[in-house]
Each structure stands twice: as structure tokens, then as C-alpha cells.
Structure 1
């Protein structure tokens, strides 16, 4: 989605930057060779060329929005460090209903094992939800998660998502969050620290 191609979102634990071609070979393609990540994300292994094509679709398609998740501590405390050395995962929004642009599916991947269980995924999701509400006008979110991915299910439930379906064929559960006024107020409070900056010349500057 071109709307976020020049947007950086700064949080306490994570920094969200646009997914560019430079991110593909350095870390992303290597991550997606992992059988564990393929299973957790219901993904098929792609060639490098296919991964580049996927990155272009994330940039150009109007129904997709993605950010690469950086470790904010590394990014902010190590001068001159590259984005590639701070990458820990990604967070995505899909606009799933062409007739209702307020509905979307959200997913998050913390690919670096050493960065899991530290709240990075939680903050990334909160920031993406806030972006979806304030910039895209979204009010309904769903997350589809493999039944065996209990940590991810619990994380979304802590963010007030409620389970609404279970698909035994695909072995996944669907959780939903309706962004009514009290929930929107709660979300904005949770992300009141978030800052938005410009992503210039293909790279953000550490703050």
C-alpha cells in the first residue's frame, strides 16, 4: 500500500518501517526458509525472485498494508546500525472485504526467536491497529491463527480479541475485535506514545 511507503512509526519496543526491496535478501528471505515460520504463518517457501514480487505487491496493492518490525532498543542505541541488523519480523493488514473497507485481517510475525516473549509483537499489533483506525478508517479486525500457536492466540485475547470461529480443516481459529468507541479510546491510550515520522531516501534515521 503506497499510503505507508514514507511512514515510520516509533514505539517503545519496536519501530515500524515500510517493507522495501532492500529488506528482502538480507533477512526476510532467510526467515521464510524456516519450516517453523512457514507452519506458523501458513506460508509456502518462495524463491528470491518470488519474494521480491511479493514485496512489490505489498507496496502497490491497495488492499495490503505492511511494516517491517525493528528492535527499537538496537535502533535507538547503536549509532549507524542498519535496519537489516534490527529486523525482527513484520506486521500486516489485509483489507478483506471490497464492499466494506472498514474490515481487515491483521497478522504479526516475530521471526527472531531471541525477540519472542518480550512484548514486541504486542506493541507492533497495537501500533498497527492504531494506524488502521486513524489512517485507514478501519473498525473491525480479525486474526486467523493456527490452533497450535497458543502464545499468539493468548496475545490477541489479551488485546480484547474474541474467538468467533474454529476451522478444523485448516486447523485455525478466528478472533475478532470490534472497534467501538470505548475500545477505540482504549487503543489510543495504549498507543499514545507512538510517533509518526517520514521515511526518507529509503531509510529512517535512528532517533
Structure 2
């Protein structure tokens, strides 16, 4: 999505930057992991397909993605590639109802279990509401990914449906003014143009 093409979001422990072509090789190496493929319900892509996917996420008006950087590493090294730990994105699934699917992936094992995903997804939920106009969120999560299921339930999402065929649950959350304010109070973050 072009709306975030020049946006950087500085959080407490993370920095969110637009997904650019220089990020693709590391992202592609992550997605060779069978564990990540299973947790994200993804199929392996060739490097060329990954570049096409990145281009789609950058240009399509129904997609918005950020690469998650470890703020401490980024502050020390000023290198996005070395600081990459995952991604978060939203995908508009219904423009009429302003419904979007939200996704979060912490690919680097060293970054898991530190509430980094929690911070990233809260910031992304708020960004989607404020800048994309999302009114309802859905999260499709593999049955095997209990960490994500529990995280989204703590965020107020409730189960909408279960698919035995795809082995995933769909959780939903309607946006409200109270919830939006609650999201905004969770972390101090600054949205800026680069």
C-alpha cells in the first residue's frame, strides 16, 4: 500500500519500516523454515516470486505491510537487514465494510517471548484504524499457533469460525472508540515520514 511507503513508526522496542526490495532476501530465507510456513499457513516461494510478492504488498491498495526491526540492534548498527525480526501486515478483505485481516510474524527465535509481537500488532492495529480506515479486524491463525491465538484473544478478539480443512481459526474484533483509545495507550510510539 502506497500510504505507508514513506512511513517509519518508532515504538518502545521496535521500529516498523515499509517492506522494500532490499528486505526480500532475508525475508525469503525466513520463509524457507517449515515451522514458519506452518505457523503462517504459507507456501514456499522462489526468490523471484518473493520479489513479486513484495512489489504487490508495496503497490496494491488493499495491502499494507511493515518489516519489524529490533530497535536496540537498529540503534546500535543502523542496519535494517541485521535488525529485521519479523513483519506485520493488514489486508483489506472487504472495502464496503472496511474489514481487514491482520497478520504478525516474529521470524527470529531470539525475539520471541519478549512481547515484541504484542507491541507490533497493537501498533499495526492502531495504524490500520487511524490511517487505513479499518472498522473490523479478522485474524486467521493455525490451530497449532496457540501463542497467537491467545494473544489475539487478550486483544479482545473472539472466535468467528473454525476450518478443519485449513486447520485454522478465524478471530474477529469490531473497532470501537474505546478499544482504539486503549490500543493507543498501550505503547508510546511515533509515526513519521522518511
TM range (shorter): over 0.9
Instruction: State the match for 1:202 in structure 2.
Output: none
Instruction: State the match for 2:46 in structure 1.
Output: 47
- Alignment length (residue pairs): 194
Residue 119 (1) aligns with residue 118 (2): no
Query: Which blocks of at least 5 consecutive residues in structure 2 are unaligned?
Result: none
Structure 1 outlier segments of 4+, above 4 Å = none
Query: Which blocks of at least 5 consecutive residues in structure 1 are unaligned?
Result: 200-207
Task: Tell me if the contact between 1:13 and 1:72 (Cα under 8 Å) persists in the aligned partners.
Answer: yes
Instruction: State the match for 1:87 in structure 2.
Output: 84
**For 1:184 and 1:196, how far apart are their aligned partners in 2?**
16
CA deviation after TM superposition for structure 1 residue 85, in Å: 0.3
Q: TM-score, normalised by structure 1?
A: 0.91
Task: Tell me if the contact between 1:13 and 1:119 (Cα under 8 Å) persists in the aligned partners.
Answer: no
CA deviation after TM superposition for structure 1 residue 93, in Å: 0.1
CA deviation after TM superposition for structure 1 residue 30, in Å: 0.4
**For 1:184 and 1:92, how far apart are their aligned partners in 2?**
18
SS of structure 2 residue aligned to 1:133: helix
CA deviation after TM superposition for structure 1 residue 121, in Å: 0.5
**For 2:20 and 2:79, how far apart are their aligned partners in 1?**
13
Q: TM-score, normalised by structure 2?
A: 0.97
Over the aligned positions, Cα root-mean-square deviation in angstroms equals 1.0
Instruction: State the match for 1:139 in structure 2.
Output: 135
